[in-house]
């Protein structure tokens, strides 16, 4: 077997400059962690909690006496397949038997489980789980393997070089000796942790690159998987919160006698974000909340409407904002020509609407605070809770459960729903576990939305039809302003999450200008699967399509020429176009549209085919090509392409959260529409073969469908739709 010394593999390949732009969570990289670590596998990894006779060489795995391997996942499993992917990395280098590998969520402990792309922070997001762990977890597996082999060599008195490990069995061919991992576990534990580890040559991968089974399927199929909603603890109470009708409204009076009369209701407690009803079970809490009468002081509450905001954004977009990128003389070039294509695009507020509404369990006692949560941002939540309770962060213990979706919602720098649960638990008798559940209505109305954005664009073409100048202005709230990340992440007035995907528009355009307005509003906003790209891909890929049509050129050929210096964009564009039979004739009312976009260092192209019939857009087929470097699990990648695209399709066609004089108009799935099975198109997924380090797949498919679809609708109808969700003129 050919091996590479991991010491020479730099993870700096993923890192560009002081800020790592793997949005989702675009966080400053602290210098001490960015610095290359020595190749020792023992590097401050600590060990995973182990019992006597077990072998736990580092923080990421342990092997028990039966030979079962437990991989400790530092990342949240919220559907994206991370438990499977991370375990694959360990098992690959360990040469473990995949069937004997199980996965366990890591505790909150950033000293061992930090996201290597986020400095000293532990958390999941920005499609970084596999990318940041790729070397780390393979090294963890390789170190364990070396220790098992050393133990066998010692026991059998044979040279290490003659020992092989195949699917969980350590063997010495010449003597015919064999031992399972379990038999060697205890002896391996007393071996020194290797100073350097040898990693496999990718050609020797047995698990990476294969469609091996997910680790979380069985328990999610038989109903035994534990989500936060499912945790039951002795003496546990359930709380529902009555939230204010408008953002910024304050409680001014509580009439709780009717609520307290509901059987099962034990307490009504006021918290900063509203009034909580504490009861023995959900239904009592719900009846109690229905009976609760709260009067609100709305004098300082947010009172504006979406349409009004959009109009204000429109005016703002006509004024100069903070410059995010300025190549050449775009503004001047545009001033000197009459032939300017001008367009306005906009997208609404969106709710994440994971199927599991937000929930959290908290128990506070003398020792500290224990939390059960689909935990996406351990370090942030730990610090926020510790600050609220006057504890040390390590006194806040967090149990990471499966999350029933998140799409960014469970990683909130403001720790909103977690703190809400802590505020309630704090007012209860010590030691009583408190489960706070949001109803669907709370989940829709209590905030933290993808911001509303408006873009104004102007462009002109050169005589060959290529874009000569492009001027774009983005207006929308900053996600990071006012969060603990602001100082590190908002540079020179530019929140990178507002402009990512636009500021790095890959097309060859000599004169390019992009500026940004970040109006401040009390509407709470947050990253939403694929973050800035949710709007920048829609706008950029629609507008480039407009330019192609204005130039009278084929949209694929047009992009190809302008992407000559971007081989990975080109790779996915060409693959998707070929597989979709780009250019093949279509029937009446049908159209085909393309879009290509990079996010989180992964490249995705999609070709959508639509039929427009009686004013309704039907999406018939979507062809997706992805380049995410080494494909750790092609089946999980395919699933994320299908699902990520489907998630984007909800926003492209159905979902819209509207404010009317400060009130959120939608409340549940009847008026906040998401994709249903009969609306899901045929999907084909193609993965570009690659030897590059793996990059994320959870988000990059999401932003590409809206522009592909809008472009297809244009091809089918001649209508250029510039507002999401897409609605045909009647």
Partner 1 sequence: MLNLTINGKPHQLELDPQMPLLWAIRDHIGLTGTKYSCGVAQCGSCTVYLDGDPVRSCVTPLSVAVGKEITTIEGLNSAVGRAVQEAWKELEVVQCGFCQSGQIMSATALLSRNTKPTDADIDAAMQGNLCRCATYARIRAGIKLAGTKLAGGKA
Question: Residue 221 touches which of partner 1, ligand FES, none (CB < 5 to 8 A by kind)?
Answer: partner 1
* Sole window of 302-310, 415-423, 594-602, 637-645 interacting with partner 1 (rule: CB under 8 A): 637-645
Smallest distance from the beta carbon of 85 to ligand FES, in angstroms?
A: 17
d(CA 247, CA 662): 7
Q: How far is the CB of 432 from partner 1 (least distance, A)?
A: 16
Q: Is 402 in the site for partner 1 (CB under 8 A)?
A: yes
Q: Regarding beta strands 177-180 and 434-437, do their DSSP bridges make them parallel or antiparallel, or are they unpaired?
A: unpaired
Residue 644 near ligand FES by CB under 6 A:
no
Minimal distance, residue 275 CB to partner 1, in Å: 20
* Residue 350 or 457 having the CB closest to ligand FES: 350
318 scored as a contact of partner 1 (CB under 8 A): no
Q: Which run of H or of E encompasses 324?
A: strand 322-327
Least separation in angstroms between residue 499's CB and ligand FES is 30
The C-alpha atoms of residue 82 and residue 60 are separated, in whole angstroms, by 14
Q: Does 104 bind partner 1 (CB under 8 A)?
A: no
Angle at 271 between CA 269 and CA 273, to 5 degrees: 135
Four-CA torsion 696, 698, 700, 704, nearest 10 degrees: 170
Judged by CB under 8 A, the chain residues 44 through 103 that form the site for partner 1 are 77-81
Q: Check: CB of residue 75 under 8 Å from CB of residue 82.
A: yes
Residues 361, 231 contacting (CB under 8 angstroms): yes
Extract the tokens encoding 627.
């380049």
Q: What is the largest CA-CA distance in the chain?
A: 85
Can you name the residues that pair with 271 across neighbouring β-strands?
274
Question: Rounded to whole angstroms, how far apart are CA atoms 543 and 561?
Answer: 16
Rounded to a whole number of angstroms, the minimum distance from the CB of residue 225 to ligand FES is: 11
Residue 5: which of partner 1, ligand FES, none does it interact with, CB under 5 to 8 A by kind?
A: none
Cβ 355 to ligand FES shortest distance, Å: 4
Tokens of 129: 């789980």
Minimum CB–partner distance for residue 679 and partner 1 (Å): 8
Which of residues 470 and 528 has its CB atom nearest to partner 1 in the complex? 528
Sheet with strand 265-271: strands edge to edge:
265-271, 274-279, 237-242, 434-437, 359-365, 368-373, 396-400
- The tokens of 400 are what? 């990471």
Closest CB 590 distance from partner 1, rounded Å? 19
Rounded distance, CA 210 to CA 353, Å? 32
Using alpha carbons only, what angle is made at residue 479 by residues 361 and 380, rounded to the nearest 5 degrees? 35
- Using CB under 8 A, which of 440, 550, 663, 720 touches partner 1? 440
Query: What minimum distance in Å lies between the beta carbon of 289 and partner 1?
Result: 12
For 150, the token pair is 């050393």
Structure-derived torsion over alpha carbons of residues 307, 309, 312, 313, reported in degrees to the nearest 10: -100
Least Å distance, CB 405 to ligand FES, is 5
Interacting stretch for partner 1, rule CB under 8 A, among 396-404, 462-470, 531-539, 547-555?
A: 396-404
Nearer to partner 1, 544 or 701 (CB): 701
433 contacts partner 1 (rule: CB under 8 A):
no
d(CA 533, CA 162): 52
Query: Shortest approach of partner 1 to residue 311 CB, angstroms?
Result: 32
**Cis, bond preceding 391 (omega within 30 deg of 0):** no
CA proximity to 273, closest of 483, 386, 424: 424
Q: What is the DSSP string of 92-130?
A: HHHT--GGGEEEEEPPS-HHHH--TTSTT-----TT-HH
Q: Name the helix (H) or strand (E) containing 172.
A: strand 169-172
Tell how strand 322-327 and strand 511-517 pair up: antiparallel
Kindly indicate which of the ranges 16-24, 276-284, 292-300, 338-346 contains the residues binding partner 1, using the contact rule CB under 8 A: 276-284
Q: Is the peptide bond before 725 cis (omega within 30 degrees of 0)?
A: yes
| CB of residue 57 to partner 1, shortest distance in Å | 30
Beta bridge partners of 685: 624
Token duo for residue 7: 């010491």
Site string for partner 1, 640-659 (x = CB under 8 A): --xxxxxx-xx---------
Smaller CB distance to ligand FES: residue 90 or 287? 287
Decide which of ligand FES, partner 1, none touches 282; Cβ closer than 5 to 8 Å per partner kind.
Answer: partner 1
Which CB atom, from 405 or from 540, has the smaller least distance to ligand FES? 405
Put the strands of the sheet holding 69-73 in their side by side order.
Answer: 55-58, 61-63, 69-73, 101-105
105 touches partner 1 by CB under 8 A: no
CB atoms within 10 A of CB 206: 16
**Helix H or strand E segment including 142:** helix 129-156
Q: Is 302 in the site for partner 1 (CB under 8 A)?
A: no
Pick from 221, 584, 691, 729: which binds partner 1 (CB under 8 A)? Answer: 221
Among 62, 100, 214, 455, binds partner 1 (CB under 8 A): 214
Number of shown-chain residues binding partner 1 (CB under 8 A): 63
Work out whether 604 is an interface residue with partner 1 (CB under 8 A): no
Closer to partner 1 by CB, 8 or 224: give it.
Answer: 224
The answer to whether residue 451 forms part of the interface with ligand FES (CB under 6 A) is no
Tokens, residue 15: 């890192």
Q: How far is the CB of 374 from partner 1 (least distance, A)?
A: 9
H or E element that contains 384? helix 378-389
Which residues in 320-359 contact partner 1 (CB under 8 A)? 353-357
Give the interface segment with partner 1, choosing from 119-127, 389-397, 484-492, 638-646 (CB under 8 A). Answer: 638-646
**Contact yes or no for 649/722 (Cβ under 8 A):** no
Residue 214: which of partner 1, ligand FES, none does it interact with, CB under 5 to 8 A by kind?
A: partner 1
Q: How far is CA 499 from the centre of its chain?
A: 17
Pairing type for strands 396-400 and 368-373 reads parallel
Output 593 or 643, the one with its CB closest to ligand FES. 643
Report if residue 623 touches partner 1, rule: CB under 8 A.
no
Identity of the residue, 115 or 238, whose beta carbon is nearer to partner 1 in the bound complex: 238
- Choose among partner 1, ligand FES, none what residue 346 binds, the Cβ cut-off being 5 to 8 Å by kind: none
Residues 6+ positions from 692 with CB-CB distance below 8 Å = 627, 629, 630
Site for ligand FES in 303-362 (CB under 6 A): 355
* Of the residues 107, 405, 451, 506, which one makes contact with ligand FES according to CB under 6 A: 405
Q: Which of 64, 216, 298, 326 lies at the binding interface for partner 1 (CB under 8 A)? A: 216
Residue 626 touches which member of ligand FES, partner 1, none, C-beta under 5-8 Å by kind: none
Nearer to ligand FES, 558 or 647 (CB): 647
Residue 79 interacts with ligand FES (CB under 6 A)?
yes
Question: Does residue 698 bind ligand FES (CB under 6 A)?
Answer: no
Using alpha carbons only, what angle is made at residue 22 by residues 21 and 24, rounded to the nearest 5 degrees? 120
> Looking at residue 228, what DSSP letter applies?
G
Residue whose CB is nearest to ligand FES in the complex, by number: 355
The CB-of-79 to partner 1 minimum distance in angstroms stands at 3
Q: Is 4 or 668 the residue whose CB approaches partner 1 more closely?
A: 668
- Other CB atoms within 10 Å distance of the CB of residue 590: 17
Of 150-158, 248-256, 582-590, 677-685, the window that binds partner 1 (rule: CB under 8 A) is 677-685
Cα 201 off chain centre by: 30
List of residues contacting partner 1 (CB under 8 A): 77-81, 213-214, 216-227, 229-230, 232, 238, 263, 281-283, 353-357, 402-407, 437, 439-440, 635-636, 639, 642-647, 649-650, 668-670, 674-678, 680, 682-683
List of residues contacting ligand FES (CB under 6 A): 79, 355, 405
């Amino acid at each position: 077997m050919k091996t590479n010394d991991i010491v020479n593999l730099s993870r700096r390949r993923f890192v560009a400059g002081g800020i790592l732009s793997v949005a989702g969570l675009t966080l400053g990289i602290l210098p001490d962690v960015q610095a290359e670590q020595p190749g020792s596998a023992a590097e401050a990894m600590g060990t995973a909690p182990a019992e006597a006779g077990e072998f736990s060489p580092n923080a990421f795995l342990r092997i028990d006496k039966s030979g079962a391997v437990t991989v400790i996942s530092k990342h949240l499993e919220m559907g994206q397949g991370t438990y499977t992917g991370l375990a694959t990395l360990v098992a690959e280098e360990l040469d473990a038997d995949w069937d004997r590998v199980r996965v366990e969520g890591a505790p909150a402990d950033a000293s061992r489980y930090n996201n290597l792309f986020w400095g000293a922070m532990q958390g999941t997001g920005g499609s970084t789980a596999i990318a940041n762990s790729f070397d780390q977890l393979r090294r963890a597996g390789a170190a364990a393997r070396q220790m098992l082999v050393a133990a066998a060599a010692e026991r059998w008195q044979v040279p290490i070089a003659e020992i092989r490990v195949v699917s969980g069995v350590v063997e010495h061919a010449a003597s015919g000796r064999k031992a399972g991992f379990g038999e060697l576990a205890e002896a391996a534990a007393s071996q020194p942790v290797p100073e350097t580890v040898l990693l496999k040559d990718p050609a020797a991968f047995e698990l990476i690159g294969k469609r091996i089974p997910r680790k979380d399927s069985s328990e999610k199929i038989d109903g035994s998987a534990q989500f936060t909603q499912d945790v039951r603890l002795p003496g546990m109470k359930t709380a529902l919160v009555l939230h204010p009708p408008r953002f910024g409204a304050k409680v001014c009076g509580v009439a709780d006698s009717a609520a307290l009369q509901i059987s099962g209701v034990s307490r009504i407690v006021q918290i900063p974000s509203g009034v909580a009803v504490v009861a023995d079970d959900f239904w009592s809490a719900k009846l109690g909340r229905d009976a609760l009468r709260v009067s609100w002081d709305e004098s300082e509450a947010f009172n504006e409407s979406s349409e009004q905001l959009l109009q204000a954004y429109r005016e703002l977009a006509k004024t100069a904002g903070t410059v995010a990128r300025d190549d050449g003389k775009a503004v001047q070039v545009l001033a000197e020509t009459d032939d300017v294509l001008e367009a306005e695009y906009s997208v609404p507020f969106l709710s994440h609407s994971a199927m599991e509404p937000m929930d959290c369990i908290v128990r506070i006692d003398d020792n500290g605070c224990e939390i059960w949560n689909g935990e996406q941002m351990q370090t942030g939540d730990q610090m926020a809770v510790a600050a609220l309770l006057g504890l040390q962060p390590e006194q806040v213990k967090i149990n990471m459960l499966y999350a029933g979706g998140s799409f960014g919602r469970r990683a909130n720098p403001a720790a909103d729903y977690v703190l809400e649960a802590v505020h309630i638990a704090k007012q209860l008798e010590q030691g009583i576990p408190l489960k706070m559940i949001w109803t669907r209505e709370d989940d829709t109305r209590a905030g933290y939305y993808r911001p509303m954005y408006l873009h104004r664009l102007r462009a002109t073409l050169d005589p060959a039809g290529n874009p000569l100048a492009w001027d774009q202005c983005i207006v929308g709230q900053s996600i990071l302003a006012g969060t603990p990340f602001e100082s590190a992440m908002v540079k020179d007035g530019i929140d990178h999450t507002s402009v990512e995907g636009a500021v790095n528009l890959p097309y060859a355009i000599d004169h390019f200008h992009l500026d940004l307005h970040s109006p401040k509003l009390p509407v709470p906003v947050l990253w939403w699967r694929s973050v800035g790209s949710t709007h920048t891909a829609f706008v950029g890929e629609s507008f480039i399509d407009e330019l192609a049509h204005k130039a009278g050129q084929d949209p694929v050929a047009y992009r190809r020429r302008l992407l000559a210096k971007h081989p990975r964009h080109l790779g996915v564009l060409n693959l998707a176009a070929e597989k979709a039979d780009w250019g093949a004739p279509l029937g009446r009312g049908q159209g085909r549209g393309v879009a290509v976009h990079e996010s989180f260092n992964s490249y995705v192209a999609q070709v959508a085919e639509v039929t427009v019939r009686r004013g309704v857009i039907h999406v018939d087929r979507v062809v997706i090509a992805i380049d995410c470097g080494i494909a750790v699990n092609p089946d999980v990648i395919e699933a994320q392409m299908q699902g990520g695209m489907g998630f984007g399709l909800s926003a492209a066609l159905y979902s819209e959260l509207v404010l009317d004089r400060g009130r959120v108009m939608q409340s549940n799935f009847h008026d906040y529409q998401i994709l249903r099975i009969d609306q899901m198109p045929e999907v084909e997924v193609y993965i570009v073969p690659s030897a590059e380090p793996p990059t994320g797949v959870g988000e990059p498919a999401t932003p590409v469908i809206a522009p592909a679809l809008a472009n297809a609708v244009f091809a089918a109808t001649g209508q250029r739709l510039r507002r999401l969700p897409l609605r045909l003129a009647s």
